[in-house]
Structure 1
Amino acid sequence: MARPKPASRIPDWFNLDAYSHLSELDANGWLRVVSGLRMLLDEIPDLYRTGDDDSDLDLEELEEVFVGFQEDEGRGWADWKKQEYVVDEAVFDFGSVQSLSNWTVAHMGATLDHIENGPELLVGMRTAVELETKKEFKAARKAFQSIDYLEEFSSTPFFVSLRDSRQNSGYGVGLPRRRALSVNMRAPDEILRKDFDRWLRAMRALQGHQAAKKSFTDTDFKRWVRNAYVPLLVLTKWKELTGARITYGDLCEAAFPPMRRVEVDDVRKTFLPNAKAWASLETIDALAAQAAREDEKSENSGG
């Protein structure tokens, strides 16, 4: 017999059975769930508000949004996100690692034009390269020498100049997600791998640049289900938006199956904080990369 919902504090639309299929999902399925969940948690649009106050909500329409997620988790931006990690060997794009396209180089150059010292460097470089193409090498050397005063700036990593420029202009934008690096293909593979590992550690250590530690396994998926991450976050978001008086005890009763005994402190100190940290862009990116590899493996095996 199903355990009754406690004293109507849990909304009538909530149905724990709707989340039972989560135990069957792979990375593709979880990508759909988490990206849809992020939209539910962060993208509630103003059209559900009926006034200026945060508490002025059209509860009927808001309920439809929550029920829609509960019934199929929504698509979020799952397919679009996964596309970032699709391999295209024809253009030397291997998902998270890819060669710079002309578009990317052009975008970097156009961006550099708006960074202090960037315009001077670009003008000097264009002049020198134009002279080189005309085989006027003596004049080209002089053109390069004319921008020697920019040596410190020209040797600064592009992402550092971009970060500092945006911070100084008050935007406070974090580090760019993608980084360009130069690889000396004359070096032995073993040296390249070691040097890349050192570069990667340095990039990961930079403040504000986070990523999932590893690919997820079935053990991770099972833990997310066992600890009720999705229903906990759905009910907590409903409480936040509507002011419903849902207690931690209510969450213990509603978000877990009847045979699972869960204490209030488990939810308050562990499960809910972990769920909030889990429903992140880092998790979505890791799942997107993993899902893209699942698709590639399926295609290669003829599945």
Structure 2
Amino acid sequence: MPYPVGAAPQQGFAVGQAMKKLEFGVSDIPASFQLERYAGCANWGAPEWWRALSLRYPFEAWSYLTPEELAEDEDNPDLLEIVRGNVLGFMERPLPVVEGELRPFPADTLSKPIRDLTGADYYEGLFNLHSGWYDKPSTLALRAIHRAGMMDFEAIQPEQEGERAFAELSNTPAWRIHREADAPAEKFGIEVNLGATDEFLVKEFKRWLKRIRKDAGIPQIPKEFDASHFADWHEDRLLPYLDLTMWARSHGGAFNLSALGYVLFPDEALRDAKMREVEPRIRRTIAPKARAIISLEVISTLNRQVWVKA
């Protein structure tokens, strides 16, 4: 049974001494993983894909923490075991059973794609300045304060250093700062000057949208996911890829491409001539597609698609 429904990864884990990243091979594939168990994905529709991805979402996020960081979480000292246990559970039952009517996180996330910024958004920024996850931007912010002459920092000399810090802060999008701190980056704030025509603003927004989707790796969201999308996800083995990579990260490493090729595409990988084609496919196509379908944007679209029609 997955971690309690409605749970979401939180910031503030204690940062431990990271060990050297391990490389896993075919012999390290957990016994719980059997590719045949994912065959049923071929018959899934939006409700099944939504449930499978929603329940995996928090564990995908947690798995990017090192095992040491997971083990040192002050709020939940059993977090490492919980993550590892749930990932094995996903392998044994790719479509977990959910008891009751509760909707898993992030069911209601991004229900309103556009909203006004509030004072809470600025408060969050002040809070993050005191978080160890944001060491670099908070240091730049302090240097930028010195540039403005608002505070005297004897250690920051000369004045040009503050100028450079301010320039770096100004040229770094907020979403990138959050991602560098391993925080979810589903918010993309913009400032709008209403002293322009509606036509010009809409045109500029479309340009921004095209650029930000490319820069941030955000997939183009269709009006509705259909059978053709789900067939592609199954044929590309995206769900078993997610489960294997989550398992590897939660154990402090990653599977090499050769191992993933053999286990995900056994018929192709067993032929040497095809092996050279499988590995680039995993790196260039399957990995980014898998990251896309586990994103808040895709899960939220599936959520609306499933529950609006319910």
Scaled by the length of structure 1, the TM-score of the pair is 0.52
Aligned-residue offset at 1:287 = 1.0
Q: Deviations over 1:208-230 (max 9, x none)?
A: 63322334553332122112233
The letter for the 2-side match of 1:15 is: Q
The letter for the 1-side match of 2:204 is: D
1:182 aligns with 2:192: yes
- Number of the residue aligned with 1:209: 216
1:227 aligns with 2:255: no
Kept after mapping to 1: 8 A contact 2:63/2:246: yes
CA distance in 2, matches of 1:116, 1:242: 37
Q: Deviations over 1:257-286 (max 9, x none)?
A: 879998423422213553222332685122
Alignment RMSD: 5.6
CA distance in 1, matches of 2:266, 2:247: 20
- Number of the residue aligned with 2:115: 98
The structure-2 alpha-carbon separation of the partners of 1:109 and 1:221, relative to structure 1 and needing over 3 Å to count, comes to same
The structure-2 alpha-carbon separation of the partners of 1:271 and 1:221, relative to structure 1 and needing over 3 Å to count, comes to farther
CA distance in 2, matches of 1:8, 1:161: 45
Which sections of structure 2, spanning at least 5 residues, go unmatched?
A: 1-25, 72-80, 98-102, 130-137, 151-162
Kept after mapping to 2: 8 A contact 1:85/1:289: yes
1:191 aligns with 2:208: no
The structure-2 alpha-carbon separation of the partners of 1:295 and 1:115, relative to structure 1 and needing over 3 Å to count, comes to farther
Kept after mapping to 1: 8 A contact 2:54/2:106: no
- Number of the residue aligned with 1:70: 91
- Number of the residue aligned with 2:154: none
Residue 218 (structure 1) aligned to one of 227, 239, 251 = 227
Which sections of structure 1, spanning at least 5 residues, go unmatched?
A: 1-6, 50-59, 87-93, 123-152
The structure-2 alpha-carbon separation of the partners of 1:203 and 1:64, relative to structure 1 and needing over 3 Å to count, comes to closer
- Number of the residue aligned with 1:267: 278
The letter for the 1-side match of 2:108 is: Q
CA distance in 1, matches of 2:118, 2:149: 21
CA distance in 2, matches of 1:178, 1:250: 33
Q: Deviations over 1:83-125 (max 9, x none)?
A: 3311xxxxxxx32x21122322555688799673499799xxx
Q: Deviations over 1:20-74 (max 9, x none)?
A: 232304252353265266258535634999xxxxxxxxxx999855431213457
Aligned positions of 1:34-73 closer than 5 A: 35=57, 38-39=60-61, 42-43=64-65, 45-46=67-68, 64-73=85-94
Kept after mapping to 1: 8 A contact 2:106/2:299: yes
CA distance in 1, matches of 2:190, 2:300: 19
Aligned positions of 1:73-152 closer than 5 A: 73=94, 79-86=104-111, 94-95=112-113, 97-107=114-124, 116-117=144-145
Kept after mapping to 1: 8 A contact 2:241/2:290: no
CA distance in 2, matches of 1:81, 1:104: 20
CA distance in 2, matches of 1:202, 1:237: 29
The letter for the 1-side match of 2:170 is: V
The letter for the 1-side match of 2:191 is: L
CA distance in 1, matches of 2:147, 2:256: 57
Kept after mapping to 2: 8 A contact 1:248/1:268: yes
CA distance in 2, matches of 1:275, 1:242: 21
In terms of Rg, which structure is larger?
1
Secondary structure of the 2:192 match is: coil
CA distance in 2, matches of 1:246, 1:193: 45
> What is the aligned residue count?
234
The structure-2 alpha-carbon separation of the partners of 1:289 and 1:160, relative to structure 1 and needing over 3 Å to count, comes to farther
CA distance in 2, matches of 1:46, 1:265: 35
CA distance in 2, matches of 1:247, 1:181: 42
